[in-house]
Structure 1
Amino acid sequence: MAVKKAETGHRAARVGARITQELAVMLSQEFRDPRLEGVVITATKVSEDVSQAQVGFVLMGDDPGGIRAKVAGRRLDKLASMIRSRLAPRLGLRHAPELHFSLDANRDDLVRLDALLREVGEELKAAPARPERRPEARRAGLSGASPATAHRRRAPRGQAARPDFP
């Protein structure tokens, strides 16, 4: 009996992971609703009997006062039945779980991470390009050779290094 309980918990976790993946694809490719722009699905918790699913989401970008997040949450709740009907065949289930959307509690951490990633991206764009490694050394097969030893080639194993004669 304990094995069966572990299997159902594992099944719920697998279904939750698949729901998260499919919802991410649906939101990015199928729904052209401007109210859902910037919505990222973070996690899905599915009940053991796979009848209910709690879907966490965050809204990337600036959202002063959380107004956009509330609008996106209401829109997702309205679309839940349509999303559910599209999910069932994709998941290979006769009945997809009932979906309940909620703003993820880790939203602030994700917003800070998003801001840091944008800042790093801007710094990388503004940074000067890395200097090119010596192309003549690369062509001669001497990458990493210092100027003092650039005239030498690597000797085969067991033989001493010798100067390169033209």
Structure 2
Amino acid sequence: MLRYIPGTDDRGRLQALRVEFLVEVTEPAHFRWTLATWGALIFVALFLMALLATVFVGKLPFYIPLVSILLSSILFTEYQHDKKAAQASRWRTAENRLHLLSLLGGWPGALVAQQGLRHKSRKTAFLVPFWITVILNIAALGIFSNVFSALQSPARVSGYEHFRSSH
């Protein structure tokens, strides 16, 4: 936003005088490599390795880690967009949207964004529902893996069983 005083130049044309920016122009959101960021990255890497191992032993379909990575990328971008909007006093991303994407599997990207961008990382009213979505997502993956493995036909061999039988 600008504030100015209308005036005229020496030829009588309209011009803006004493123009001021009302909103401080800020730098875009920068990713910071802190101890908390590294902790989040390690936690996410361990989660993804566990997810891949679960796929490898045949308890989850192969597309689950892909969906998690896709949603994580989308959610990281949403956090980055929201941080920039907050800095520029623009329209923000609804917290319910962030929580929904987290619940659906994008929480690894959200966790890395929270720590690396230092955004939505302190407000308890946001963090409690966020961690609930993480727990619910992991619980849903556990239930889904049990149902998925129970529904598989005995003829279908997991990646691990295939690996063992070939050696």
| TM-score above 0.5, yes or no | no
Give me the TM-score of the superposition, normalised by structure 2: 0.26
More strand, by proportion: 1
